[in-house]
Structures are given as structure tokens and as C-alpha cells.
Structure 1
Amino acid sequence: MRAKMVLHRNRKRRIEAGHPWVYQSEVNRVEGDIGPDGTIEIVNHQGVFLALGMYNPDSQMVARVFSYNRDEVVNEGFFIQRIAEAYAYRQRFLGGQSESCRIVYGEADFLPGLIVDKYRDVLSVQILSLGMERFKNTIRSALVHVFSPRGIFLRNDVPVRRLEGLPLETGVWMGDVPDRIEIEENGMRFLVDIPEGQKTGYFFDQRENRAAIAPLMTGWRGDKGADVLECFCHTGAFTVHAAKYGAHHVTAVDISESAIQVAQANAALNEVAERVDFVAANAFDFLRDEETAKRSYDVVILDPPAFAKSKRALEGALRGYKEINLRGLKLVRDGGFLVTASCSYHLRPEMFRDVILDAAVDAHKVLRLVHWAGAGKDHPEIAGVDEGHYLKFAIYEVRSR
């Protein structure tokens, strides 16, 4: 018999709308003893069953929904089924590109706090919740059963684990994990540094957005390809796409020397190195210097890391997004394009649009929206869960006024 979490009468009906999180402030009381697996029934004030959750009494997020079946048994078979279903979803929508993709996306795949990226025959895993940590060894067994991977790397080095009372750790979890592994995306080849790369190694969420820049790269001044500036290029994914899609020249900027080294290797791997100049520099300073030098480009790409990692950081983040977009717009030739993105959840889509518009006003530019998108198909979103809508990606045509 599972313990029950009884919710307050006057709470907002978020669980009924599919939201996967219960906060301490929503809980009236807990009845019964929590079993060793830490799962709990979530019921409303009348005792009506709503969902099963993974319980963490020491977190503000006291329960995470993992099932709407009251009789669900959490064992290796449960994880095998959920993981296999998640991968089948990717195979349906990504086809051949499902060989390397995000195969488990936490709450959106009904495995709250579990992230799994697949790089061909190697997996990169993050466990972000106490609920999933309790089943750590079972999860590893399930992954081995479904994928028979060469190796699994554990990337439990994210600060959010501390909020769950969990230690930070990284290391090979099973088998053999190479320092770098080659994957394919949109017909191009990329080296991924799983142990040392950002997050779980690679940003799969921009896959479709990188493909969306193809029409911008050709047809400039006759048949010449575009002159492109990319800031925050990281390991060169947008850079390589731009060059392979026909850009005449790409200037790619990132502050990380190690990221630049991987980006250079990726450019060489795709035989576009002769059309790319990599610059290790602070993107803000570089944009400012380019403006002072009165340089211009056909396409400017801005794909920065999250500037707002908390609500408290939002005000400063707004200034940062305003500055890079303002300076980026000033560098775009008349009739050219600004490609801009934000992965800060706390910067809501309407706020991001407003920041870009404010920058355009100050830069004396008129924008025409070409493309607006979020994360790719391997990052599904549950309706009603605003926290899942973190990535904003836009392409604007830029005209002077």
C-alpha cells in the first residue's frame, strides 16, 4: 500500500492539466509510510487519484509525476518499456537521424529527472532527481537491455542535483567511452566530446534549426555564397552547416579555446576549413570591435548560452540579449538576415521577441520574421508545461529605415 500525498483544495489544478511537478506549498498532508522506492500516490483534497509521483521531502519540488496508472510497478521492466517507447518516438519522427539524438528527455518522456543522449553506440546520462537516483542501477540495466551500448558515461555534474540533496559526479558508468565520438547530423559529420563537452556533450535541440539556415547561404551578389558571422559558435555546428550549405566565408567566434579546437576539427572533417576563420574571443567585445571597424555581413548568427539561469538573473540577461542583438543587427547588411536564439527558460518567448524588437528600434532596422521555432523533435513538450518551452529560435530579414 503506497503512501498518499493529499493536495490542498485551493491549489491551481496543474496536475490535472498534465504538469509533472508538485511543490511543497501545494501539499496538505502525507498519509502513510513511504516505501523504499520513494513512490507515492498523489490525490486531490477529496481523495481522487491523480497520479503516481517520485517523492523527495527535502526538495521544494516534493513530487515528480511518472505515471497515471495507480497500479504501476517500478522495476526494470518499467524502465525498459519507457525507454523503448521514448526511442520509438524518436525513430518515428527522426528516421535515420535517430542513431544519434536525445532518447530520453525527463518529464516529457514520463521519466522525470532522467536525461539520456545517444551518440551512435555510446550513451551519455544525467540523473537530476532523487527519484531517479533511487533506481540508478536499474536504469543502467534497462539501458543496456534496450541498446546494448559500447559504453555509458554519467554526466551528473549539474548544480541542480544539489537541490535534490545529491552529490556531483562524472565518469564511465559502463563499458568503453572514447574521448571523442563521430556522429552525423543533417548529412554532416561532427566530433563530440562526451566526457568534457558542455551538458551531455552536444546540443541536439538545435538540429532542425541548423537545417533551417540553408536558404540564407546562397544567392548573394549573383551566385556568391553569404558572408557569415557566428558568435558563440561552441564546437561549430552552425558554422559547419553554414559552410556546407554554401556560405562563401564564415567567421566563427567563441571564448573557449577547447571548443574552438573541436570546431576546427569539425570544419576539417566536413572539408570546409578553408572557408572558416575561427576566433577565440569574448563575443560581446568582438561584436563591439566589428561595429567600430564598420564591418558587415550577409548573415549574423547568435546562439549564446543561457544568460538567465534563475529569475534573479533575468534583468541582467535582458541587457545581455539586447546588447548582442543590437550589435548583431548593426552588422547585418541591408536585406541580410539575423539568426538569433535563447535557451534561457526564464526569458519567455514574448520577452525574447520584445528584446529583439527593442534592439531593432535602436539599430534603426525593420525586421521581417522568416522562421520561429523551439527545440527539435527529440525534445518533446507536454502541453501546459511552460518550463519545457525553453528554446527560442528566430530568423529575421533585416532592412534599414
Structure 2
Amino acid sequence: MTEVRLKIARRSSHPWIFQKMVEKPSTRIPPGTVVDIVDRDGQWAGRGFYNGHSRIALRVLTTNRDEAIDEAFFARRLDHALALRRDWLRLEEVTDAYRVAHSEADGLSGLVVDRFGDIIVLEFFAAGMFRQRDLLRDLLAARFPGSRFYWFAEEHVQKQESFDVRRQEPPAPTVIREHGVRFRVAPGSKHKTGFFLDQRDNRRTLAEFCRGRRMLDLCCNSGGFAVYAKACGEASEVIGIDLDEEALAMAKQNAGLNQVQIRFVQADIFAWLRDILPSGNRFDVV
């Protein structure tokens, strides 16, 4: 296997090694190639993706010299990530939408995987992970039978990492559930992978403060907090404000899915707040 040498002694356990810490290889190594990493003192330091075009020249995937970066490696990492979500956090008891794999946190530097019901979305942050896209899709298909797949990378990431993701047609929107609330989501539209899954528990917690109260959701996007406040929190009144007309259209659909009445307003929140303040209009939960 190709070796890449460091200018430093490897003491950090962080999986990123920056370009300035790496000796330039004598021959060109294609971006995303799996290499062995040797530090300044000649000590084997790990194995991972190399990309001479990126400021993050090396992404360490393993520090076990006996562990190959192959199909079995990716299967193990995905299974470990899924065991945390399914067996420990027991997410599937409350939702069919969650982050399946979160890059370095799950030992898969440069990859984010989100599940939205029957849609699996992969976001790539590294050329090495993008090179593994077909393998990753096959492994995920075996763990989520019948799923549709969509993958992408932000344009600035593609430039920094020197890889090209051909634009796919986004999948048709789907409906997800969490804590008994339903949301229509559209992966591939605007906001990252499709929905702010990391706010699931915050949405439920906020709803607990809303019973019988007026609630204002600023920058409401597709209405996550607003819908929870009305559907779960039994707020007396909910108003959602956002500048994005497409997001508000989705928010109105989400209110309809849950059979709740919410007033959504298309406006710049700063101008809107300046206009209502003189009237004495106040909200209990914002």
C-alpha cells in the first residue's frame, strides 16, 4: 500500500491531518486514495484517505494496522452506528427519520447519512468517501430494504476536495413521523439533507411550555417548532414567520398533515418585529 509521511510525530487522536503537516509525495496520488500513514519518526500512525488538493490532506479511518479499509470495514462502521441508534437510543420507537452516520463521530470521516422514512440521503465531504458511494449505497440498501437513495455534496466541498458529483433529480417528497407528529420533507431541495433532525428533542421539549399560550416561531422554515407547539403542546395560538416562500408552503402542508391551525407569514423577521412592537402585541413563547 502507498505510504504518506508526516512532518511531525503523530500524537493527536483526531482523524484530520492537515496539509502543512504532510510531506509531499514523490509521485501523484489520486484524491481519495487509501494510504498508510507514517510519522516523522518512522512510526506507523494509521490508515486513511489521502487528498493532496485538500487542506485536510489525510483523514484517518483506523489506527489498527491489521484493519483493512474494505467492504467489511464500512459494514462494521455502519452496523456500529446503527446499533447506537436502534439498540441504545431506540430512535425507531419514536421516529422513522434520524441521522444514521455522523462523519467522524461514527468513524466515517467525510460522510453524513440521514434517513427520512423510505429515503436515505448521503452527503459527502471527502473525495475518499465519494469514491466509495456505490459500496455505501449497497450496504445501506441491505440495512434499509426498499429505500430510495439520494446523494450530494456542496459545491464548495467539491472544489476543495477535487471531486465532481453529477446533479441528481431529487426524490419526490416523503412524509416522516416523530413523537406522533408528521412532516413532509423534501431532500435535495434547500436546507442540507432535508430536515433539521437534530432538533427533534428540542421540538418536543419546547412544546411542553406552550399549553394555553401564544407561541411565535421566527425563521420557522418548514414549521417544525410551530407544528409541535400546536399539535403536542396545545398552544392557544401559533404564528410562524419566514422569508422563504417555498419553506412556508411546506410549513402549511405540515400544519395540514397534523390538522392544526397555524398562521404563517412571509416576511423579514426584523421588519415584522419592528412593525408589531408599537402595538403591544406580545407572545408567551418565542
Per the normalisation by structure 1, the TM-score is 0.66
Verify the 8 A CA contact 1:179 1:195 in the aligned structure 2.
Answer: no
Specify which of 96, 101, 120 is matched with residue 98 of structure 2. 101
Shift of 1:32: 8.2
Distance in 1, matches of 2:274 and 2:154, equals 34
Verify the 8 A CA contact 1:54 1:131 in the aligned structure 2.
Answer: yes
User: 1:316-373 CA distances to partner (integer Å, 9 max, x unpaired)?
Assistant: xxxxxxxxxxxxxxxxxxxxxxxxxxxxxxxxxxxxxxxxxxxxxxxxxxxxxxxxxx
Verify the 8 A CA contact 2:217 2:238 in the aligned structure 1.
Answer: yes
Match of 2:177 in 1: 184
Change in Cα spacing, 1:133 to 1:178, as seen in structure 2 (3 Å) is closer
Match of 1:298 in 2: 284
Q: CA RMSD in A?
A: 2.3
Give the gaps of 5 or more residues in structure 1.
219-224, 301-401
Identity among equivalent positions (%) equals 33
Match of 2:45 in 1: 50
Distance in 1, matches of 2:273 and 2:130, equals 43
Match of 1:65 in 2: 60
Per the normalisation by structure 2, the TM-score is 0.90
Match of 2:118 in 1: 121
Match of 1:254 in 2: 242
SS in 2 for 1:104: strand
Shift of 1:48: 2.6
Match of 2:143 in 1: 146
User: 1:183-217 CA distances to partner (integer Å, 9 max, x unpaired)?
Assistant: 11122111101231411111101111111213311
Specify which of 258, 263, 266 is matched with residue 254 of structure 2. 266
Change in Cα spacing, 1:178 to 1:136, as seen in structure 2 (3 Å) is closer
Change in Cα spacing, 1:298 to 1:205, as seen in structure 2 (3 Å) is same
Question: Is 1:234 the counterpart of 2:221 in the alignment?
Answer: yes
User: How many residue pairs were aligned?
Assistant: 283
Distance in 1, matches of 2:186 and 2:239, equals 23
Match of 2:201 in 1: 208
Match of 1:82 in 2: 77
User: Within 5 A, what are the aligned runs for 1:328-347?
Assistant: none
Letter in 1 for 2:4: K
Verify the 8 A CA contact 1:7 1:43 in the aligned structure 2.
Answer: no
Verify the 8 A CA contact 2:31 2:52 in the aligned structure 1.
Answer: no
Change in Cα spacing, 1:151 to 1:47, as seen in structure 2 (3 Å) is same
Letter in 1 for 2:226: T
Give the gaps of 5 or more residues in structure 2.
none
Shift of 1:145: 2.3
Shift of 1:265: 0.8
